[in-house]
Structure 1
């Protein structure tokens, strides 16, 4: 079963600001510098495209996949395989700025698990109730906080 990440306006605004800042830093000097060679301009444009591609891929192509023995949390190049037996608790969270997070909404869930380096991951499935129901089917020992 696959769940997509919810995307809210706050998150879109944050990503848009980041893209704008990177665009100004990489493209504006190449455009305004009259002595910049064509090679420099091409390099700066390519750098902009690569950075923006990574940001968009990481931010907007997030999914959570239930497999037989584990939950796969995937966002761009970042992946976490979380065995169901390691998941201890799920609770709501509004904190998207700290911790290990693969989410794109302020209203998310925090999954606590034993095998993680930071002990938890923050996610934001579109259908929260369905996600929690599916998770509780697969994790008999999970605590659900509301």
Structure 2
């Protein structure tokens, strides 16, 4: 609603300005909803595929070094939908880690441990 205040309160706006502001608001809301509701974590043969809206990561299992639970969901590269999160540290990432929140955390950790025997995994 705060984004609509300039449209409502500014009396000297043109139809083009209103259209542009509404278009930007619509695009922003759609992007946020796309990222929030299109989250997938898929175990592929050679890598973990992580998708959140337009953002995608393919992490090779041999590159994963550590998996730890985390409550720090505001910092770093994250594709998650809850505060009950896991941080996956890996060698090839630009930021070195990704924070995710699989629905069934225990099952996810067991499968990841099976595929990444050299990784340090803590629950």
Q: TM-score, normalised by structure 2?
A: 0.92
Q: Give the conservation status (yes or no) of the 8 Å contact 1:69–1:84.
A: yes
Which gives a bigger RCO, structure 1 or 2 (Cα 8 Å, sep 6+)? 1
Determine the C-alpha separation between the residues in 1 that align with 2:14 and 2:94. Answer: 46
Which sections of structure 1, spanning at least 5 residues, go unmatched? 1-22
- 1:55 matches 2:42: no
- Residue 56 of structure 2 corresponds to 79
Q: What is the CA RMSD across the aligned residues, in angstroms?
A: 1.3
Which sections of structure 2, spanning at least 5 residues, go unmatched? none
- Residue 86 of structure 2 corresponds to 109
Structure in which a larger fraction of residues adopt helix: 1
Moved more, 53-62 or 74-83: 53-62
Q: TM-score, normalised by structure 1?
A: 0.78
Q: Segments of 4+ in structure 1 off by > 6 A?
A: none
How many pairs does the alignment contain?
A: 123
Instruction: Give 3-state SS (helix, strand or coil) of 2:103's partner.
Output: coil
